[in-house]
């Protein structure tokens, strides 16, 4: 299988690359930090994969389009759009620059890469696109408005794309993780509910991909809690959100 993974230099992307390396797959790994990406690639090679690394900033949209064109010159079986950032949880007003960067990285860069790839998948009449969204997209907390918004935009994009591509036999999946051990969550100085190790997280993600789950929020109990809060009348919901807001040091 030819599998492309963005954000493969650390965290979930790294663990996903190592997981799929074991199946003797052709991997294309994308991220900015060359040294870290090469280290992941070397480990994947040892596990039996054929690996290509692409050192690129997903915010360079012209570059992303050209990478998409190059990738589309060969068959693409699975594309995991995992690169993403957060700007931490703060109670203040998010600067426009941070907001812009989050939307570029977590959302807009994705279509820059996909624009030339989608016609290729349609021509193939096969392929999988997997979006790594977040449970944070379902409930926007006061301390992570920009992150939640960017991931909610991603959900809407993925939903429409799924309807568009289903008739061509292309599977579009949205994975919504809760808190998982990674460089991103290392920065959080509050107690993260239902926290999972990277391995636990990746096991669930790869199982969901194998089962072609088009919408996979996890951990399930955390997801249920969010759904429950969403059903409450607004005054009660406000109280709960303010009570649970992730602002206390752990």
Q: Give least dist CB 122 to ligand NAP, A.
A: 25
Q: Is 12 in the site for ligand NAP (CB under 6 A)?
A: yes
Residues that bind ligand NAP (rule: CB under 6 A) add up to a total of 28
Distance, CA of 121 to CA of 226 (rounded, Å):
34
Distance, CA of 100 to CA of 205 (rounded, Å):
28
Q: Is 183 in the site for ligand NAP (CB under 6 A)?
A: yes
Q: With contact defined as beta carbons under 8 Å apart, do 108 and 61 qualify?
A: yes
Distance, CA of 226 to CA of 142 (rounded, Å):
15
Q: Is 140 in the site for ligand NAP (CB under 6 A)?
A: no
Q: Is 139 in the site for ligand NAP (CB under 6 A)?
A: no
Distance between first and last Cα of the chain: 42
Distance, CA of 239 to CA of 128 (rounded, Å):
40
Question: Could you say which of 11, 116, 127, 217 contacts ligand NAP (CB under 6 A)?
Answer: 11
Among the residue ranges 10-18, 61-69, 115-123, 235-243, the one whose residues contact ligand NAP (CB under 6 A):
10-18
Q: Is 57 in the site for ligand NAP (CB under 6 A)?
A: yes
* Residue 197 φ/ψ region, left for φ over 0, alpha for ψ in the -120 to 50 degree band, beta for the rest: beta
Looking at residues 16 to 35 of the shown chain, list those that interact with ligand NAP (rule: CB under 6 A).
31-33
Footprint of ligand NAP on this chain (CB under 6 A)? 7-13, 31-33, 36, 57-59, 82-85, 105, 132, 134, 177, 179-180, 182-185
């Amino acid at each position: 299988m030819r599998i492309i993974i963005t954000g493969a230099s650390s965290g979930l992307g790294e663990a996903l690359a190592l997981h799929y390396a074991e199946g003797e797959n052709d991997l294309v790994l994308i991220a900015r930090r060359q040294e870290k990406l090469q280290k992941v690639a070397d480990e994947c090679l040892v596990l039996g994969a054929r690996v290509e690394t692409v050192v690129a900033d997903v915010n360079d949209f012209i570059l992303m389009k050209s990478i998409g064109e190059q990738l589309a010159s060969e068959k693409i079986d699975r594309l995991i759009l995992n690169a993403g950032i957060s700007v931490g949880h703060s109670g203040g007003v998010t600067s426009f620059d941070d907001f812009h960067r989050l939307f570029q990285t977590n959302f807009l860069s994705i279509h820059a890469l996909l624009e030339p790839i989608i016609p290729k998948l349609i021509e193939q009449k096969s392929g999988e696109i997997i979006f790594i969204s977040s449970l944070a997209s379902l409930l926007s907390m006061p301390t992570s408005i920009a992150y939640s918004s960017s991931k909610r935009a991603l959900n809407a994009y993925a939903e429409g794309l799924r309807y568009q591509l289903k008739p061509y036999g292309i599977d579009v999946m949205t994975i919504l993780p809760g808190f998982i051990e990674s460089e991103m969550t290392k920065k959080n100085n509050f107690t993260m509910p239902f926290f999972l190790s990277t391995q636990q997280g990746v096991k669930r993600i790869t199982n969901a991909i194998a089962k072609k789950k088009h919408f996979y929020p996890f951990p399930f109990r955390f997801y249920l809690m969010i759904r429950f809060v969403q059903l409450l009348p607004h005054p009660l919901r406000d109280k709960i959100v303010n009570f649970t807001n992730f602002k206390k040091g752990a």
